[in-house]
Amino acid sequence: MLGIAPPVAVVSTSMIVLLAIAVWKGLPGMLTKGLDSRIAEIKAQLEEAKTLRAEAEALRKEYADKIANAEKDAASMLEHARHEAEAIVAKAEQDTADVIVRREKMAQDKISAAELAAVTDLRNQAAAAAAAAARGLIAANHSADADKTLVDQAIAGI
């Protein structure tokens, strides 16, 4: 009965020998080193992910600030444009009122000049008519002898 061992004993002994060889060759150390290196890689990736996330958050905040500033700038530009448009409209209204006043004055001046020209023309016509009438009266009432007497009196007066 000494010659054959039961199968459980053979398997158990084989397992113990295999484990002893693995321990002797440093298998547990290699496994822990492999796991430690993998853990270190994962930690490095997590740190990199945290850094990337922080950078992404900073960029998001920067762009959010830029958007807010752009909206403020746009509102400011719009308000400035409104004020400029109001100023332009007010200036146009004032310019229009000034043009109307100038044109009214020009029209009044033209009317006054036309009235003065009409009065002057009427006076000239009246003077011409009076001169013609006087010439006619003098020619009708004075003869050559009467003119000679007037001329002699004028000469004597000198």
The pLDDT of residue 132 is above 90:
no
Q: Mean pLDDT across the stretch 129-157?
A: 78
Please check whether residue 63 lies inside any domain of the structure. Answer: yes
Mean pLDDT rounded to a whole number for the chain: 87
Please check whether residue 144 lies inside any domain of the structure. Answer: no
- pLDDT score at 143: 67
Written as one string, the DSSP assignment of 115-151 is HHHHHHHHHHHHHHHHHHHHHHHHHHH--HHHHHHHH
Enter the pTM of the model: 0.41
Please check whether residue 158 lies inside any domain of the structure. Answer: no
Angle, CA of 57, 61 and 65, to the nearest 5°: 170
- pLDDT score at 2: 53
Q: 125 vs 27, which has greater pLDDT?
A: 125
Q: Which pLDDT band holds residue 4 (cuts at 50, 70, 90)?
A: confident
Please check whether residue 90 lies inside any domain of the structure. Answer: yes
Q: Which pLDDT band holds residue 1 (cuts at 50, 70, 90)?
A: very low
Please check whether residue 111 lies inside any domain of the structure. Answer: yes
**Tokens at 64, concatenated:** 């959010």
Q: Return the minimum-mean-pLDDT range out of 4-13, 40-49, 52-61.
A: 4-13
Q: What range does the domain containing 81 cover?
A: 37-132
Written as one string, the DSSP assignment of 62-120 is HHHHHHHHHHHHHHHHHHHHHHHHHHHHHHHHHHHHHHHHHHHHHHHHHHHHHHHHHHH
How many domains does the chain divide into?
Answer: 1
Please check whether residue 23 lies inside any domain of the structure. Answer: no
Contact of 28 with 22, CB cutoff 8 Å: yes
- pLDDT score at 38: 92
Please check whether residue 13 lies inside any domain of the structure. Answer: no
- pLDDT score at 34: 82
Please check whether residue 153 lies inside any domain of the structure. Answer: no
